[in-house]
Structure 1
Amino acid sequence: MKIREFRRRATLCVGAVLAVAAIGAAATPSLAAPSTTTPFATPNTDGCPQKTQPPAPIDESEVPAPGQPTPTPLPVPTPAVGGARLGDCGVVLPPGAAAVPQDISATAWVVSDLDTGEVLAAKDPHGRYRPASTIKVLLATVALRTLDLNKVVVGTQADADVDGTKVGIGSGGVYTNRQLLQALIMASGNDAAHAIAAQLGGDAATVAKMNEVAKSLRAWDTRAASPSGLDGPGMSTSAYDLALLFREAMTIPLFAELIHTEQVDFPGYPADPRIPGDTDHPGFLIGNDNHLLYNYEGALGGKTGFTDDARQTFVAAAQRDGRRLAVTLLKADVLPLRPWEQAARLLDYGFALPRGTSIGDMHETTVQSTETDVALAAPPASGSGYSAAPPAEDRRVSTRTLLIVGGIVVILALLVGARQAKRRR
């Protein structure tokens, strides 16, 4: 078993043990000694500790390969993308809003409106953290707009050997791209991410495409380092960016369908001839690993994530009374509440706010014009396989610009023609 997967399962086991212990404690008579456990405290970010880069890693997953440079921190746009208030690093609330829910362990979070783009409330919205498997939202966006979903793909041993969480792709198994995306989005399969990336040109080419899309959306706190979300050199996102990427993905009908699917049949794969006595592996059911989907009324679905360095990450959406809200969590823990439970509390908080409440939005993306910012805002390179439609406001500006330039060209052409005609006369 891979070390990362072992740690993940160990964390789940510890959570189960703690839950059993809590039940036992509840049944213990009041004569038991008082607890000396330090009360939980939400991490303080008022001092902007992650303004430029994520917290220091706890392992060697982000050490560059031999001969590769160490990525420098991404530039920090000024003013903050989405509005001035989103440049704050602590809790940011609308004027007169109630206090945020208790027991939220996420170091950074954002509650936003999927339809209007309004940011309703946040904590360290542009602080930089690691996305873990929530970056698969970005991979899915690239894949859904690039690959033929009916194309048949044969699983490889390289797919089966990837690190981290796997859905169960086997060498020689036959899968459609649609099934690979089910495994990616529903079960967070790193093996599915590997199979998808192979069709996009390999890991390095896929990461480049993902980062192009992030730049095209002006998610400038985001830098993917792996297709699956496993930690790597320079990996970064923010709660704001994750909300932005999720909102974009939700415009793709199949993505919205898959994150809302509870379970689906998945193909098996043939016996491995290298293993004596191995037999064919039959198909099986895969389930959605997002518990909010099963436990929160109006849940639309979402994406979970975890690595040793990123800790718990989460993005999800729900609908109530005609409103669709999204919540993103970064660097959370499983105590005192599981991430989906923290998301549920923040969604309740968002739905309780009046319509039109806002501390910023996902439309106002004008930043200070510098060479760095211009480079960040450059369109994707040709041949990327991805064509991102610009926002409506940008399209209007582009149209006006084309009309003005076209008019100038026509006038100049008429003047030149008249001058040449005069010379001929």
Structure 2
Amino acid sequence: MGGLGVPNGPVGLYVRRVPIFSHYSDRAAARPGTGRVRRTRRATALASTAFTLSLLTVPAALPAHADEGEPNGKNAEPRPPAQMSTVGGTQLGRPGTQVKLKPGAPKLPAKVTARSWIVTDAESGKVLASHNAHWRLPPASTLKMLFADTVLPKLPRDRTHKVIPADLAGMGEGSSLVGVKEGESYTVHDLWLGVFLRSGNDAVHVLSAMNGGVAKTVKEMNERARVLHANDTKVVSPDGYDRKGQMSSAYDLSLFARSGMQNKDFREYAATATAKFPGETKKKKNGKKQRESFQIQNTNRLLTGDVGIDPYPGIAGVKNGSTTHAGNTFTGVAQRGDRVLLVTVMHPDGQEAHGVYKEAARLLDWGFAADGKVTPVGQLVGPGGAASGGGTPAGKGGEAGGPSGAHAAARHESEPSGGAGVALGITAGVLVALGLLAYGVHRRWPLPDLARRRRR
């Protein structure tokens, strides 16, 4: 549909053999034909009710911005606040690295420079280790996970929309683009490919317009964050572009990924390595008009690889980002054997090429090696009805509240719902084929309190 050449069906059918393009980098570059403008890089399950309530506590006052941590000097790196949210456990509210190694457990990797990171067991929600997990930092395009978790269930994938100039208004200078054109029509499916693969802010703005506008979408994203107990998060722009006051945390981004991955369409897009995107309609020599298309590749380099970085075995998404204030950010999910891990890395020091991916890979390697050899330091809490405690309010546009009726009614059957936070277990197969190698990823995403279902 829409000239995609991407068939409907299981996730694996969406992923193609992908050449590792040598010209991909994190530096500013233009992708001919895609309209892509690259920005410059810079240096669960729910526990018992009693346990969950014990986690939803918070200090009386929390700093609102990343830079409110005290620096060592004029040009020094900012420090995390002395007190942060304790959603998920009191230890997660402490600055610095939090880990409880048992005898024989591997040490954490030494070369991890990120300001904030977290490694969790995706199925149980147990936090294996963290570093400033609740430090509120600019999220960049990883915030698109919350955008997708909020909006994706509301719009049928075969719905078509003709783009008007107002749809693309308000995008920040230097925004990443997939190449949406005014006057052309796109399906919702087309646009989500643009969001997940190319991090297209143009696709985000068109989907927001289809959802009733940017302001309405931002309000719903803040409401959704409260439902997920992602209380470190304040949304100002749905695409993650740097805006004053826009913040999230490694903990919250992990909540967004975990919630989104319950949805089969979200999983499908997150795991897609390459696809065709509709181009412009042009008149041929015979006088007939024909819609062109071009190939787009996922910018998640743990999925597709790049010069100096290999695809990560078992990777199945989720989202990367980069802006001036956020630096590089990344949330990824991977499986090895029966273990599924979720990792979020925010703002490495920028000294290492593809550092955000390499640091994420090191933390994933450690997490798999540490299986059964660490005592959890916290928990990814499950979604609830009304938000309570556990963090600073989102501010204007981010009042606590449940999902809108339209949102709740439109959730896919594979999506969690219910006031107590119900999660649906799903088994999915993902084929990530890269160059001459193909990784078969038998990807479970169950939560242990409900039956597992296999996608066929």
- Aligned-partner Cα distance in 2 for 1:158–1:94: 52
209 and 231 in structure 1: CA distance in 2 versus 1, 3 angstrom threshold: same
5 Å-filtered alignment, 1:176-191, equals 176-191=187-202
5 Å-filtered alignment, 1:372-383, equals 378-380=400-402, 382-383=404-405
1:385 aligns with 2:407: yes
CA contact (8 A) 1:171 1:270 kept: no
CA contact (8 A) 2:328 2:348 kept: yes
- Aligned-partner Cα distance in 1 for 2:168–2:140: 19
- Aligned-partner Cα distance in 2 for 1:93–1:249: 26
218 and 77 in structure 1: CA distance in 2 versus 1, 3 angstrom threshold: farther
Cα distance per residue 1:121-166 (max 9 Å; x no partner) = 1100011101110010011111221111110011233455633000
Deviation at 1:84, TM superposition (A): 1.3
CA contact (8 A) 2:167 2:205 kept: yes
Q: Say which structure is richer in strand.
A: 2
CA contact (8 A) 2:227 2:400 kept: yes
> Which residue of 68, 92, 101 corresponds with 2:109?
101
Deviation at 1:354, TM superposition (A): 2.4
Query: 1:89 maps to which residue?
Result: 95
Query: 1:208 maps to which residue?
Result: 219
Tell me which amino acid in the other structure corresponds to 2:114: A
105 and 371 in structure 1: CA distance in 2 versus 1, 3 angstrom threshold: closer
> Which residue of 226, 229, 233 corresponds with 1:222?
233
Secondary structure in 1 aligned to 2:67? Answer: coil
Secondary structure in 2 aligned to 1:282? Answer: strand
5 Å-filtered alignment, 1:403-422, equals none
- Aligned-partner Cα distance in 2 for 1:120–1:52: 26
Question: Which sits farther off after the overlay, 109-118 or 347-356?
Answer: 347-356
Query: 1:231 maps to which residue?
Result: 242
Secondary structure in 1 aligned to 2:156? Answer: coil
TM-score (norm 2): 0.65
- Aligned-partner Cα distance in 1 for 2:268–2:112: 29
The structure whose RCO (Cα within 8 Å, separation 6+) is larger is: 2
Cα distance per residue 1:272-312 (max 9 Å; x no partner) = 9xxxxxx9872101111101013111111121111111111
Deviation at 1:54, TM superposition (A): 2.0
Cα distance per residue 1:342-390 (max 9 Å; x no partner) = 11101001111123741111138999869988x9894326556346724
- Aligned-partner Cα distance in 1 for 2:101–2:181: 54
Tell me which amino acid in the other structure corresponds to 2:97: V
Query: 1:359 maps to which residue?
Result: 377
1:53 aligns with 2:69: no
Q: Say which structure is richer in helix.
A: 1
Which protein shows a greater Rg? 1
Aligned length: 333
CA contact (8 A) 2:330 2:357 kept: yes
Query: 2:447 maps to which residue?
Result: none
Query: 1:30 maps to which residue?
Result: none
- Aligned-partner Cα distance in 1 for 2:391–2:87: 17
Query: 1:157 maps to which residue?
Result: 165
- Aligned-partner Cα distance in 1 for 2:392–2:233: 15
Deviation at 1:268, TM superposition (A): 1.0
1:167 aligns with 2:183: no
- Aligned-partner Cα distance in 2 for 1:9–1:231: 14
> Which residue of 293, 296, 309 corresponds with 1:283?
293
- Aligned-partner Cα distance in 1 for 2:408–2:335: 29
- Aligned-partner Cα distance in 1 for 2:271–2:391: 42
292 and 341 in structure 1: CA distance in 2 versus 1, 3 angstrom threshold: same
1:328 aligns with 2:344: yes
- Aligned-partner Cα distance in 2 for 1:301–1:333: 23
Query: 2:154 maps to which residue?
Result: 146
Query: 1:34 maps to which residue?
Result: none
CA contact (8 A) 1:81 1:365 kept: no
Secondary structure in 1 aligned to 2:229? Answer: coil
Cα distance per residue 1:185-215 (max 9 Å; x no partner) = 1110000000000011111110000011000
- Aligned-partner Cα distance in 2 for 1:268–1:118: 44
Secondary structure in 1 aligned to 2:240? Answer: coil
Q: 5+ residue gaps in structure 1?
A: 16-49, 57-75, 273-278, 396-425
Secondary structure in 1 aligned to 2:112? Answer: coil
- Aligned-partner Cα distance in 2 for 1:369–1:350: 29
Secondary structure in 1 aligned to 2:66? Answer: coil
Deviation at 1:82, TM superposition (A): 0.4
- Aligned-partner Cα distance in 1 for 2:401–2:380: 18
Instruction: Indicate the percent of aligned positions where both proteins have the same amino acid.
Output: 35
- Aligned-partner Cα distance in 2 for 1:87–1:308: 26
Secondary structure in 2 aligned to 1:92? Answer: strand
Tell me which amino acid in the other structure corresponds to 2:401: P
Deviation at 1:244, TM superposition (A): 0.7
CA contact (8 A) 2:85 2:390 kept: no
Query: 1:275 maps to which residue?
Result: none
TM-score (norm 1): 0.70
- Aligned-partner Cα distance in 1 for 2:176–2:321: 10
1:298 aligns with 2:298: no
Query: 1:112 maps to which residue?
Result: 120
Q: 5+ residue gaps in structure 2?
A: 1-26, 31-36, 44-61, 69-81, 284-288, 305-310, 410-415, 424-456
369 and 299 in structure 1: CA distance in 2 versus 1, 3 angstrom threshold: closer
Question: Which sits farther off after the overlay, 296-305 or 95-104?
Answer: 95-104
CA contact (8 A) 2:139 2:326 kept: yes
Cα distance per residue 1:329-353 (max 9 Å; x no partner) = 1122442242111111010011111
